[in-house]
Amino acid sequence: MNYHPQQNSVYSRRDFLNRCGMGFGAMSLGSLLGSELSGAGPKGSSTLDPKAPHFPAKAKRIIHIFANGGPSQVDTFDPKPLLNEWHGKPLPMTLKTERTTGAAFGSPFKFKPYGQSGTEVSELFSHVGECMDDICLVRSMHTNVPNHEPSLLLWNCGEARLARPSMGSWLTYGLGTENQNLPGFVAMCPNGLPVADSMNWQNAFLPGIYQGTYIDTKHEDVEKLLENIQNKHTGYDKQRIQLDLLKKLNGYHSSRGEDDDRFDARIQSFELAYRMQMEATDAFDISKEPKYIREMYGEGLQARQILIARRLAERGVRYTQVWTGFRQPWDNHDDLEIRHRKLCEECDKPIAALLKDLKMRGLLEDTLVIWGGEFGRTPVVELSVPGANQGKVNGRDHNNHGFSMWMAGGGVRGGYVHGATDEFGFAAVENRVHIHDLQATILHLMGFDHEKLTYRYAGRDFRLTDVHGNVVHDLIA
């Protein structure tokens, strides 16, 4: 797909943006990978300078679309004809999930094969279906428990209950960021926080600069998106004069024979902040996109935030998380058919647009796009219990035993389906992939040995995957 007229200019713009970030060199006080990563003391001079990972990386940045609440695999990416045959009858097998469940609940959605790979995808994701040849689908995911909070934390931080750094924090700690004029790790969630709140992008014991910057994408006004990004009293031109005075005064101060690396770093930080005001405003302003691009993504909040994610990735943000919304939108214990359909109507087209857009810009090859939730849903119907789900029997319970996720770009094997659930789609049975395995694989794609990206804290070396995780090499191209 080489027809896009702007392709070359996009590339050069990106390079330009990357170079802007290099002015921060004054802060890299011997932050050599290996020495720092294997156990910086509490007085670490940690910075966001770009750093090299353990080995050459396939992916340089991540866009992680988090379908929080738990999308149903048997209605999206894991067709189970047998389940529909058993519809309404108790299954010969059952597994314990969070709530009480009943008989088989066949999917109300139609599946059909897509692309050269012929992977079957449900009508809910007909647009994403068109991209299946670029997608590496894992149908054999499993996680530990069928509850939101621990599963979200396990996914994001590798640990279900205790305060541990999130994957985005680990990656910005390990890699720095490509553009110093923007935060390196951005978590977007419209209308409020997901379950487990900002713990999902916490830095825990890593320095505070590695925490995800939360953006409530319900706002369209950039000033509400990023704290202190604009000055209501002073225009850019006057601020420029002010910063020139500051530079001069700081110069007098330094020239009094009291030099210190930190003085220069701090002078630089004001210059970067000045540029960040404009850069960030620009990055979040999708009205700067040409009309045909906006049309590709479509209308609505999901379209807007997914398009912002592309603009951020393009500008070198290391890890961009796009959450569906406040609390747990995909948690359809009731009315699954109606609600899943609505959610997919909002996100299917923009997700597909993202993949196509990245591809035509040449960005897909080193941008890893991840889609999925904290777990899946049961192939059996959830029964109604007093005090819950309003007496409806048309939804699915949480399911940690088996679910689907997919990745695209960033060195994964497109058009490939990994693993399988049982014949009803309840549990992963073939080539099972645990969350820790997925994390190990993602770190691998980003150039890290997950056992060696560590941080010494409280007497031991911590890592994202705790004591677990195996890289799933089949997923890698």
- The continuous run of DSSP H or E covering 242 comes out as helix 236-255
| Cβ atoms of 307 and 293 closer than 8 Å | yes
Task: Give the C-alpha separation, 435 to 469, whole Å.
Answer: 8
Q: C-beta of 176: minimal distance to other proteins in Å?
A: 12
Window of 5-13, 59-67, 230-238, 324-332 that interacts with other proteins by CB under 8 A:
230-238
Per-residue x/- mask for other proteins, residues 351 to 390, rule CB under 8 A? --------------------------------xxxxx---
DSSP per-residue string spanning 390-454: GG----EEEE-S-EEEEEESTTB-TTEEE-EE-TTSSSEEES-EEHHHHHHHHHHHTT--TTT-E
Least distance from other proteins to the Cβ atom of residue 223, Å: 9
| Residues 193 to 222 in contact with other proteins, rule: CB under 8 A | 196-199, 202-205, 207-209, 211
Taking CB under 8 A as the criterion, the residue among 6, 35, 116, 231 binding other proteins is: 231
- Between 96 and 342, name the residue whose CB sits nearer to other proteins: 96
Q: Which of 31, 126, 254, 431 binds other proteins (CB under 8 A)?
A: 254
CB closer to other proteins, 7 vs 250? 250
The token pair at 61 is: 């940045």
Phi-psi region of 469 (alpha: psi -120 to 50; beta: other; left: phi over 0): left
Per CB under 8 A, the segment of 67-75, 130-138, 233-241, 350-358 that binds other proteins is 233-241
First to last CA, the chain: 20
User: Does residue 175 interact with other proteins by CB under 8 A?
Assistant: no
- In the complex, least distance from residue 300 CB atom to other proteins, rounded to whole angstroms: 28
Binding mask 268-287 for other proteins (x = CB under 8 A): -xx-xxx-xx----------
CA distance linking residue 15 with residue 446, whole number of Å: 20
- Of the CA atoms within 13 Å of residue 85, those in its CB half-sphere come to 7
How many Å apart are CA 46 and CA 345, to the nearest integer? 43
In angstroms, what is the minimal distance from the CB of 331 to other proteins? 17
**Helix, strand, or coil (residue 56):** coil
Choice between 13 and 247, CB closer to other proteins: 247
Torsion angle of the four alpha carbons 101, 434, 202, 174, in this order, in degrees rounded to the nearest 10: -170
- Binding other proteins (rule: CB under 8 A), the pick from 234, 299, 345, 477 is 234
420 makes contact with other proteins (CB under 8 A): no
166 binds other proteins (CB under 8 A): no
Size of the site for other proteins (CB under 8 A): 94
Q: Which stretch binds other proteins (CB under 8 A): 250-258, 338-346, 370-378, 409-417?
A: 250-258
Site for other proteins in 387-406 (CB under 8 A): 387, 391, 401
- The Cα 199–Cα 151 span in angstroms is 12
> What tokens were used for 312?
């951020």
The phi, psi pair for 106, rounded to 5°, reads: -65, 150
Q: Which is nearer to other proteins, 179 or 320 (CB)?
A: 179
